[in-house]
Structure 1
Amino acid sequence: MEKGEVVKAYKEYEQYLSALAVSCRSVEDVHAPIAEGKWSVAEIVMHLAEWDRYIREQRLPGMIESARLEGAPDVGRFNEAAAAKAVSLEFEEVVSYAQRERALLRKAVEAFSPKEWKARFYIGERATTAEDYLGSLLGHDTHHRQQIDDFLP
């Protein structure tokens, strides 16, 4: 996936968050689970924001030719901690944090040179590039946006 496509998708998500902040006015909308055993809208948004932060802080700096990065953190534990942060915050704070993290990630991605975008590195034993890694994560965003859109009136 081209870098411009990833950047465009990140900008669209930032706009989506702005619209979400306006459309979600009740506490019930944002803090009720979207289904039995599922997170709330606020928890989903915080989950995505925390992954943005992790990618920006822990992944991007190591995305250099032939680098060997550690595998992902314990995903279950990471996700639980991310979701828990949303519980004690007002939704506006969650959205503001998520917008800030996505904007910082977008700006960092925009700074990648064409060579850096295509550099092959390893996460554990799996070879990848910034292009492939970041492009593949857009599906994660889409999945969670669809959950939110299906839940909200």
Structure 2
Amino acid sequence: MEKERVCNAKRVLLEWVMSLQSLSNEIWFKPFKEGAWGTADVISHFISWDRFVIENRIHPLLKGESFPDIQVVADEVNKEASNYARSGISKEELLEEFSSVRKQLLSEIENIPDSAFRLPYPGNASITLFEYFTGLIQHDETHKQQIIEFLQENKVVE
């Protein structure tokens, strides 16, 4: 049940992101406000963190290994994601990459046994694996809402 809820939420965001294909390049790259990210940056951000979760959380979990002892500096990961979004990659290429990585994430989540979602999250026994993924879903939804509000402010959607 928990795994199904996680996968459904991740799938819904994938479908929603792919609906952004019709955005103009001007809106795609336009910052939400001065000095802030734009839609392209957020989508690249999703790609970076999905890859991180796949490589550094799900793969070790499936192998019964400890999580890698790495220092994650979120600001650096986010800056790299933003730089990548503005490196010359097209909207279509970035959306395709997002789709591919998110589908890989979904496939990897599907490989996690259902029972594992009720177990303590490795490295933080105060939450379950389901609660960890719920936090990731809330993160997705926060960024989705930012984009929706931006598109409404710019009269792209109602």
Q: Is the 8 A contact 1:30 1:41 kept in 2?
A: yes
Equivalent residue, structure 2, for 1:5: 5
Q: 1:72 to 1:130 in 2, by over 3 A?
A: farther
Q: Which residue among 43, 46, 49 is the counterpart of 2:47?
A: 49
Q: Deviations over 1:71-99 (max 9, x none)?
A: 66101001101111110211111111111
1:132 aligns with 2:131: yes
Equivalent residue, structure 2, for 1:83: 82
Which AA in structure 1 matches 2:29?
Answer: H
Which AA in structure 2 matches 1:137?
Answer: L
TM-score if structure 2 supplies the norm length?
0.85
Q: Is the 8 A contact 2:2 2:114 kept in 1?
A: no
Residues 137-148 of structure 1: matches in 2 within 5 Å? 137-148=136-147
Q: Is the 8 A contact 2:29 2:38 kept in 1?
A: yes
Q: Which runs of 5+ in 2 are unaligned?
A: none
Residues 4-153 of structure 1: matches in 2 within 5 Å? 4-22=4-22, 24=23, 26-63=24-61, 68-69=66-67, 70=69, 73-88=72-87, 89-123=89-123, 126-127=124-125, 128-152=127-151, 153=156
Q: 1:42 to 1:12 in 2, by over 3 A?
A: same
Q: Is the 8 A contact 2:40 2:85 kept in 1?
A: yes
Identity of aligned residues (%): 27
Instruction: Look up the SS of the partner of 2:112 in the other structure.
Output: coil
Give 1:47 deviation, angstroms.
0.3
Give 1:119 deviation, angstroms.
3.3
RMSD, aligned α-carbons: 2.1
Instruction: Look up the SS of the partner of 2:18 in the other structure.
Output: helix
TM-score if structure 1 supplies the norm length?
0.87
Which AA in structure 1 matches 2:139?
Answer: H
**Distance in 2 between residues matched to 1:63 and 1:72, nearest whole Å:** 18
Q: Is the 8 A contact 1:67 1:121 kept in 2?
A: no
**Distance in 2 between residues matched to 1:121 and 1:14, nearest whole Å:** 25
Q: Is the 8 A contact 2:121 2:132 kept in 1?
A: no
Q: Deviations over 1:44-70 (max 9, x none)?
A: 111011100110111112236x96434
